[in-house]
Amino acid sequence: MIKFSIIINTHNQDKFIYEAINSCLKQSYQNFELIVLSTSNKKIQIQKFLKYKKKIKFIHKKPKFKQPELNQMDKIYKGFKSSKGEYILFLDGDDKFHKDKLKKLKEISKRYKIYCNQDLPLIFSKNFQKLLSIKSYKYNFFSKFLFND
């Protein structure tokens, strides 16, 4: 059974973040984890989602860099490291998913026989050509570019 990791990267999107989270929780395909990373001044009121505590992981980070772009990459990197899904999806804190998004992605992955090797996620282009594995992306690109983990 395919498991997805949905990473929501948010900063000062307090008006919209609850809609984004709810759009994930209302998916017709429920085998996913949700990782919400925030650097906002206001913390997300996680008590609204206590009944989903096994499905959602909230990570609040203080900004590490002066440049917002680097802080965004830092949150994405932390989301990758925390993820356990076969496929990783991104959702901005001010956006939302259609209720059948995961179901359709599962069908597409089976139709095109897109599977992950070594239990690691892969990155694909729009026409489903394998670009690279998350392992090489996660550890080579991010580590060499910015981070020392």
pLDDT tens column, 33-67: 999 998 876 777 777 887 888 899 998 888 888 88
The torsion angles phi and psi of 73, rounded to 5 degrees, stand at -65, -35
Confidence of residue 7 (pLDDT cuts 50, 70, 90): very high
Q: How far apart are CA 114 and CA 9, in angstroms?
A: 26
Maximum average pLDDT range among 18-22, 44-48, 76-80: 18-22
Residues found in the chain: 149
DSSP β-ladder status, 87-92 and 4-10? parallel
- DSSP letter at 52 equals G
Q: What is the pLDDT, as a whole number, of residue 105?
A: 86
Q: What is the pLDDT, as a whole number, of residue 139?
A: 43
Task: Say if CB 106 and CB 29 are below 8 A apart.
Answer: yes
Confidence of residue 113 (pLDDT cuts 50, 70, 90): low
133: tokens are: 């594995």
Q: How far apart are CA 92 and CA 11, in angstroms?
A: 9
